[in-house]
Structure 1
Amino acid sequence: MQHQHTRQTQEHKHHHHDRESHGGHDKHAGHSLEMFRNRFYVSLILSIPVLYFSPSFQAWFNYQAIPFPGSNWVNPILAIVIYFYGGWVFIQGAWREMKGKVGMMTLISLAITVAFIYSLAVTFGLEGEPFFWELVTLIDIMLLGHWIEMASVQGASRALEQLAKLMPSTAHRLVGDRIEDVPLDQLREGDLILIRPGEQIPIDGMVVEGTSSANEAFLTGESRPVTKREGDEVVTGAVNGEGALKARVTRTGDQTTLSQIMRLVEEAQNSRSKYQVLADKAAYWLTLIAIGVGSLTFVVWISLSDLVFAIGRTVTVLVIACPHALGLAIPLVIVNGTAIAAKNGILVRNREAFERAKTIKYAAFDKTGTLTEGRFGVQRIYTEGLSEDRALAIATALESLSEHPLAHAIVEAAQQQRVQSATVIDFKAVPGMGVEGIIDGKTYRVGRPEWPKELGFYFSPELERGLAKAESRGESVIALMDEEQTLALFALADRVRESARKLVRSLESIGVQAAMITGDAKAVAQAVATDLGIKRYYARVLPQDKVRIVKELKAEGGTVFTGDGINDAPALLEADLGVAIGAGTNVAIESADLVLVKDDPLDVGRALKLGKATNNKMVQNLLWATGYNVIAIPLAAGVAYPLGFVLSPAVGAVFMSLSTVIVSLNAITLRRVQLN
């Protein structure tokens, strides 16, 4: 995540809670959870007298309301208060919708306004029965539904709050010998800060003094502490362990890793989904259908029955058809999915690309640094006349003094096998060949396999076979010799990651075939592909050819490409789903659709599984939210009246709210998806 562009970070501050431009939440622009809660409670308390004085309730429960002068006006007056106090939110929403596309707020407003105006007209002399108790209970249930909705959306959006909590507010700045506590916004790049044991790291920086360990679980999901010493990077929000560290500030404000993660999470939660567009269209048509069916219901029932019954049916149709569940169906899945992804170190930059996960057939990987560790390791040791440990002890003694990158692989192998290094005198490097020195009074040389051949040293048949085998696998070979013969050969290769083996199996289980792209020779590519069980691989690929290969794979089916470097950027853009791994380079991140915080290829499989699960939930929610109306609207219109079954507006509101609850619960079950 190193030096990401701050193109969008500047906008980060401006659109933090502004949901108006984003699908799904715009109906609640300017509304708060507390407002719905307070209006619900006040309206509910004011509704009790309305129910008490309602003639319907008196008839059902067989009681007589206590009369007092003006008691006839209790219901109309309280209904007016509830309509304007509790219902005004919906009327404002409808007014906003009228300027764009009509939807949920329009239907609710129509329903409550029809019931309200008709009931007032009855109060002032029109013949019929008022709808006061239906009106107030309808508003109560609507307020409750919206309160629950906002609570669930906010609950799922907590990922951002949790990340924000990781931001400490002050830092200990070192000025000469003095320590001063300063707010974070006063820190500048290059400042020296002190991080005491157990404290959260306040800013991104580079350790200049001290040794400690830091828990970076929030960033990588890895619970084991990471050692921090001079030259290592520390990131905002990580928790310092047992030692005090002095660090130089490298990134401040919006540029810190944590701020950038917060920006990516927020962008993903606010980003439009293609399903959201579908849901919005469905909500629009549902609104038009509801108004049409409502009008038709009114005309039919007024000719068959009376005005009271006709208005009751019309109001119920308008209420039950509210595309409330539709409005929630997609945003809730998005916020839940994004929160789970962030928790697993998967940052979604492009929502639409993430949703393409369900169509992915091929996963192409850049080999070096993704499927392999990007550093050499000793694969095999071939010896002649001495033990492997002794060969390693002599080679390490010489190579530990060498600067060559392959030398480090031999030193590392000796450390892993706990081999004690021998003591060298008269060490010298021979340019282009290797190194030599005297160990236990005898001259030993370590270097290219051509060196002993040039010196005319003996190569045993066993070593010759080993050399041929190593070369056929594309491995690099280092030879160890004494004064007259070759003693050992070390075959070195870029180490395959253990997690890459699991990845290929994990992808196969979800029907995705892995492909490998590398600039290495065919022999190297073949060895790694065989080791990993990858059937398709492309060797000697130039950076510009990666795009061509991704295009070829795309022609056969959806393709995901995973890379970490600058030369991967064009291929990341070309793929249906571009994944930057290990937080990659700046360019890779800006070109990718998904950013994996950890350097773990297994996360590609996890991301695809989560993408598929998110898709399924969206489709299920859409089907439910639209499908239930097929039964609900005709029932509300009174088609079952001949069977003696009629839905009142309040019961219609309960069914509509239940539909919303089902959609919300279904979105929450996303949290139970097994990603491993």
Structure 2
Amino acid sequence: MHCEGCAKAIEKYLRNKEGIISANVSFSLGKAFIEYDERLNEKRLKELIKEAGYEVEEGKKSFWRAIFSLILTIPILIISLFFYRKELNVILFLLATPLQIFAGYPFYRGAYFSLKQKTADLNVLVSISTTSAYLYSALSTFFFDGMVFYEASSVVLTTVTIGLMLEERAREKVGETIKKLIELKPKRARVFRNRREEEISSDEIEKEDVVIVRSGEKIPVDGIIIEGFATIDESSITGESIPVDKKEGDEVFSGSINMSGFFKFRATRVGKDTFLSQTISLVEEAQTSKAKIQRLADKITNYFVPLVIFISFLSFIFWYFITNAPFPFALTISISVLVIACPCALGIATPTAILVGISLSAEKGILVKGGEYLEKFAEVDTLVFDKTGTLTKGKAEVSDVIGDVLQVAGSLASKSNHPIALAIYNEAKRRGVKILEVKEFSEIPGKGIVGKINGKEAMLGNRELINSKIGEELEKEGKTVVLVYFDGIIGAIALMDEIKENAIEAIKKLEGYEIFMITGDNRKIAEAIAKKLGIEKIIAGVLPHEKDKEIINLQKKGKIVAAVGDGINDAPMLSRADVGIAMGGGSDISKEAGGIIIVKDNLMDVVQALNISKATFSKIKQNLFLAFIYNVIAVPVACGALYPWLGFILRPEFSAIAMVSSDIAVVGNSLLLRKKLRKTD
């Protein structure tokens, strides 16, 4: 592919074929992501791409084509600039012809299939401009006495070919994160099979295999440690630079490195299901998705090439027929217009910056599911944080017991999986309290538990379930108070949920944004926690299934909302928000509702994700400005706008250099984003 237009041509061709469900082609990555049904297979997909005019895995053809073009172009330039005589036109023709065929072939092929798809791209511009110059020169050589433009057609083809090769190298640097992630997986691994240790390919590991990892080795798949302990570097997965100590029962992830120690683990996720594979897939798919601003740039690009061809034609008409300029002069200007116009810079302005932003986010343990989420997050003015498990650790512990109610509470709690119920049950077991049999057990969502113990009614829940003021003073301290009713006696149990590390710092860093805390707790508890965090706006007493309605209410007021939650219980809220951010994505990242997943469960990463989003879209605006301003200045200059005053026209070969330079400038500017963001770490 030579430009973003090539990617769009392949997409358009594939999407019109039966059996293709979806097709997204990334010029920046040089990859196609295709969803298809049972009527197609990989071999047929490659055939379809070939039918569209492109090859899968062309290897180093572009390099050798550039070398061949350069070898022929140098003597053409030397003869044309220093030793030119009309008698040498035949030699120039013999040098330029193979170059026009060999170097021009990919452009001709691309132009043919582009026009077949009723689109126009860089291939069309290069094909028309170089062919015009070459054909006129050939006719001048053999049929009439006129100027020749062999050096123009040759330099344009060579410059564009070399420029595209350099641009490809630059784009490879932009996408280096994926390559680094792929390299994290070891090629070989040791497993315990048939009562002995065997070394096999990492791809051959199966679920339930026992894998052996020694000091200094990479972990090949995900699993649970069953023997031994180790200090593991998980920086490639979580972005956390400090190694983590792991012991029996702890989870380990593919791509992390055993810094010291020896352990065996049982494989739980292998192949494409591992955390590393899911991360790679997520990042690749995200980089092919298009942000709103990119779709706008694509629309402009669709009209750009036909407009340039029209301007080129008008320029020729103006200079040749209206000003009576010589034919070679008018042709030179017409060709320069075609060559200098650059749809590529417009096409790659957005995807290259998004590619850097998403890749850098992944390195820091922030997984972004698409460019549209980066774009929207940069526009956010309101952030809504769920309390439990997001701002707090979500592991409540019993701090106070009012009345002799722990046995009843523990018995009721033993029947529930709710975090508060589990905390009460664990406290009862810790104190050696006997658990009683509960009959007619029932859970009331958002309120509590009811049942019968020894034939008497028993209840465990909030003030909506049990009407009492007992324990209100504890709520002012930010504790969650659960009321207990049994046989006419009312008591209470208070639980404390610790605020997460970095939560207060993260909220401070978000100064200037409208911050809300949303919780199912009553207002008194919510206010106590919010005060500690420095959050002024609270949405309290909201049941889990009602949280998305609160997001809608904010959106109706014109707010652009990012919601931050745990990604499971808060899924409706995260899906409803303009940007959903799932904290602690864990191992099964593909099922999260959030458009952005924070792997480390660190709230400072929300701030970092916001900074990356803003920096990325600032860079996109710079890229688009560079691309637009280049074309706004370059096209009129190529049309001969300076000639009446300065006697200056831009030759096609210099136009080609300018065009390629604009492409490389845009890619280079995107690479500066990586440098800028790393400096701010």
Instruction: Specify if TM > 0.5.
Output: yes
- Output one character per residue of 1:576-635: Cα deviation in whole Å (capped at 9) or x when no partner: 011111115859844221111111122112112211221121122112212222221111
Once the two structures are superposed, the pairs formed by residues 360-509 of structure 1 within 5 Å of their partners are 360-376=380-396, 405=423, 429=433, 469-475=473-479, 493-508=496-511
- Matching residue of 1:90: 107
Once the two structures are superposed, the pairs formed by residues 281-296 of structure 1 within 5 Å of their partners are 281-296=299-314
Pair member with larger Rg: 1
- Matching residue of 2:319: 301
The equivalent position to 2:155 in structure 1, one of 120, 132, 137, is 137
Q: In structure 2, the residue corresponding to 1:130 is in which secondary structure?
A: coil
Give the TM-score taking structure 1 as reference length. Answer: 0.79
Residue pair 1:108, 1:318 contacting (<8 A) in 2 also: yes
- Matching residue of 1:322: 342
- Output one character per residue of 1:369-403: Cα deviation in whole Å (capped at 9) or x when no partner: 1111112469999xxxxxxxxxxxxxxxxxxxxx9
- Matching residue of 2:140: 122
Q: In structure 2, the residue corresponding to 1:501 is in which secondary structure?
A: helix
- Output one character per residue of 1:279-300: Cα deviation in whole Å (capped at 9) or x when no partner: 2222222212211110011111
Residue pair 2:159, 2:657 contacting (<8 A) in 1 also: yes
Q: In structure 2, the residue corresponding to 1:167 is in which secondary structure?
A: coil
Q: In structure 2, the residue corresponding to 1:661 is in which secondary structure?
A: helix
- Output one character per residue of 1:64-114: Cα deviation in whole Å (capped at 9) or x when no partner: 78x9xx854221011111111112121112112112321222111111111
1:52 aligns with 2:53: no
The equivalent position to 2:655 in structure 1, one of 645, 648, 652, is 652
- Report the residue type matching 2:340 in the other structure: I
| Greater mean alpha carbon deviation, residues 517-526 or residues 251-260 | 517-526
State how far apart, in whole Å, the 1-side matches of 2:55 and 2:510 are. 41
Once the two structures are superposed, the pairs formed by residues 653-668 of structure 1 within 5 Å of their partners are 653-668=656-671
- Report the residue type matching 2:362 in the other structure: A
Shift of 1:560: 0.6
The equivalent position to 2:578 in structure 1, one of 576, 583, 586, is 576
- Report the residue type matching 1:502 in the other structure: E
State how far apart, in whole Å, the 2-side matches of 1:73 and 1:124 are. 8
- Report the residue type matching 1:614 in the other structure: T
- Output one character per residue of 1:9-28: Cα deviation in whole Å (capped at 9) or x when no partner: x9999999633879xxx998
1:35 aligns with 2:61: yes
State how far apart, in whole Å, the 1-side matches of 2:220 and 2:376 are. 37
- Matching residue of 1:436: none
**Relative to 1, partners in 2 of residues 1:472 and 1:328: Cα closer, same or farther, differing over 3 Å?**
closer
State how far apart, in whole Å, the 1-side matches of 2:95 and 2:130 are. 14
Shift of 1:172: 1.3
- Output one character per residue of 1:320-365: Cα deviation in whole Å (capped at 9) or x when no partner: 1131211221221121111111111111113213211222111111
State how far apart, in whole Å, the 2-side matches of 1:405 and 1:20 are. 46
Residue pair 2:73, 2:155 contacting (<8 A) in 1 also: yes
- Output one character per residue of 1:90-142: Cα deviation in whole Å (capped at 9) or x when no partner: 11121121123212221111111111111111111233101001111111111
State how far apart, in whole Å, the 2-side matches of 1:518 and 1:108 are. 60
1:273 aligns with 2:291: yes
State how far apart, in whole Å, the 2-side matches of 1:328 and 1:591 are. 29
Q: In structure 2, the residue corresponding to 1:272 is in which secondary structure?
A: coil
Shift of 1:170: 2.0
- Matching residue of 2:600: 598
State how far apart, in whole Å, the 1-side matches of 2:165 and 2:589 are. 42
State how far apart, in whole Å, the 1-side matches of 2:232 and 2:584 are. 18
Residue pair 2:502, 2:603 contacting (<8 A) in 1 also: yes
1:310 aligns with 2:325: no
| Greater mean alpha carbon deviation, residues 279-288 or residues 225-234 | 279-288
State how far apart, in whole Å, the 2-side matches of 1:410 and 1:640 are. 88
- Report the residue type matching 2:365 in the other structure: G
Identical-residue share of aligned pairs (%):
35
**Relative to 1, partners in 2 of residues 1:342 and 1:290: Cα closer, same or farther, differing over 3 Å?**
same
Residue pair 2:233, 2:259 contacting (<8 A) in 1 also: yes
Q: In structure 1, the residue corresponding to 2:308 is in which secondary structure?
A: helix
Q: In structure 2, the residue corresponding to 1:242 is in which secondary structure?
A: strand
Once the two structures are superposed, the pairs formed by residues 45-194 of structure 1 within 5 Å of their partners are 45-54=71-80, 57-58=81-82, 71-100=88-117, 101-175=119-193, 177-194=195-212
Give the TM-score taking structure 2 as reference length. Answer: 0.78
- Matching residue of 1:261: 279
* 4+ residue segments displaced more than 4 Å: 10-17, 26-33, 377-381, 406-411, 489-492, 584-588
- Output one character per residue of 1:194-236: Cα deviation in whole Å (capped at 9) or x when no partner: 1112211111111111111211110111122211111111111
- Output one character per residue of 1:496-546: Cα deviation in whole Å (capped at 9) or x when no partner: 1131111112222xx322211111222221111111111111122111111
State how far apart, in whole Å, the 1-side matches of 2:660 and 2:23 are. 34
- Report the residue type matching 1:98 in the other structure: L
The equivalent position to 1:19 in structure 2, one of 32, 36, 41, is 32
- Matching residue of 2:41: none
Higher relative contact order (CA 8 A, sep 6+): 1
State how far apart, in whole Å, the 1-side matches of 2:65 and 2:73 are. 12
Once the two structures are superposed, the pairs formed by residues 165-244 of structure 1 within 5 Å of their partners are 165-175=183-193, 177-244=195-262
**Relative to 1, partners in 2 of residues 1:477 and 1:355: Cα closer, same or farther, differing over 3 Å?**
closer
Residue pair 2:287, 2:370 contacting (<8 A) in 1 also: no
Q: In structure 1, the residue corresponding to 2:625 is in which secondary structure?
A: helix
- Matching residue of 1:515: 516
- Report the residue type matching 1:18 in the other structure: K
Q: In structure 1, the residue corresponding to 2:395 is in which secondary structure?
A: strand
> What count of residue pairs does the alignment treat as equivalent?
575
- Report the residue type matching 1:368 in the other structure: T
**Relative to 1, partners in 2 of residues 1:428 and 1:589: Cα closer, same or farther, differing over 3 Å?**
closer
- Matching residue of 2:620: 618
- Report the residue type matching 2:289 in the other structure: S
- Report the residue type matching 2:360 in the other structure: I
Shift of 1:470: 3.0
Shift of 1:176: 5.1
- Matching residue of 1:437: none
